[in-house]
Structure 1
Amino acid sequence: MTINITPTDLCPCGSQNSYQQCCLPLHLATSVAQSPQQLMRSRYCAFVVGQFDYLISTHHPDFRHGLTVAQLAQGNTHWLGLQVLTTKQVGCHGEVTFKAWYLDNKHIDAIYEKSSFVLVEGQWLYTEGTQMSTRAPERNEPCICHSGRKFKHCCAKLTH
């Protein structure tokens, strides 16, 4: 499920900047990501707002395995928030470990992944990721959507 946001809305990637100051220029190809973390955040945002062409163009062709825009557009995921856990960049290679929280059939889960990136001709590209499992947040932990509220008073209510 994609959401409609205006350029002045907060960017879904969690940067606390507006969409027009953050991921929109990347999605419009008027600029390129300057780091693996910026690319990963913009790719998460692309899932949220339905910029599926951007996801294909920033996915290294050797690692797409036939993935298409049509396949990406099939999903009906309700994205809740992004947590960047670690980032690492050494020369032309980078890694970002993150949790991308979503709601599916009143069940909260996350894509918990260590993603790999490579810099090719001045553009960072996603290559592949290692999937891991995670637990749902505890009731009194901060909410995964970055609302500033406790999980039990925010996204946990979506599961009822």
Structure 2
Amino acid sequence: MKKSKHTAPSLCPCGSGKTYEDCCGRYHAGTPAPDARSLMASRYSAYALGLEKYVRDTWCEENCPADLDLKANPIMWLGLEIRSFRETGPDTAEVEYVARGRSGGAGAFRLHELSRFVKREGRWLYLDGDCFEK
């Protein structure tokens, strides 16, 4: 049997306690996230796994940075805490989260953001966010 280059972790990086396949893996494989909260968790997992295409594909085209390169400054993601989720309209939502990570030899950091999401053509997309602390 031929081994694949990428072996998914047994537990999902988002911290749900579910297996990767039963959690964010299905969204990474093409199933649309059912809500902004699920999309937020799957984007965190995509960052943790280096799935740049998924990060780009789930970012509103008008706000996605042209210079996004997950390999240029690799981050070891250490955990995600989703603090709140609310729908702000039929096709809009907000998710407040704290993500912890470490880059290179530097100490750990926290990213605390209120993210905004929009639903377009049946798919949730990350629009933008406001950082509270870094």
Q: Same fold (TM over 0.5)?
A: yes
Shift of residue 5, structure 1, vs aligned partner: 4.9
Q: How does 1:55-94 map to 2 (within 5 A)?
A: 55-68=55-68, 71-89=69-87, 90-94=89-93
Residue 154 of structure 1: aligned partner: none
Which structure has greater helix proportion?
A: 1
Paired residue type of 1:74:
A
Larger radius of gyration: 1
TM-score, normalization: structure 1? 0.74
- Given that 1:11 and 1:18 are in contact with CA atoms closer than 8 Å, whether structure 2 keeps it comes out as yes
Residue 21 of structure 2: aligned partner: 20
Q: Secondary structure at the match of 1:46?
A: helix
Shift of residue 73, structure 1, vs aligned partner: 2.5
Aligned residues: 127
- Given that 1:86 and 1:97 are in contact with CA atoms closer than 8 Å, whether structure 2 keeps it comes out as yes
Shift of residue 111, structure 1, vs aligned partner: 1.1
Residue 40 of structure 1: aligned partner: 40
Q: Which runs of 4+ in 1 moved over 3 A?
A: none
Gaps of 5+ in 1: 135-160
Which structure has greater strand proportion?
A: 2
- Given that 1:5 and 1:49 are in contact with CA atoms closer than 8 Å, whether structure 2 keeps it comes out as no
- Given that 1:88 and 1:96 are in contact with CA atoms closer than 8 Å, whether structure 2 keeps it comes out as yes
TM-score, normalization: structure 2? 0.88
Shift of residue 114, structure 1, vs aligned partner: 0.5
Q: Secondary structure at the match of 1:131?
A: strand
- For 2:129 and 2:55, the matched residues in 1 are separated by 14
- Paired-residue identity, %: 31
Gaps of 5+ in 2: 1-5
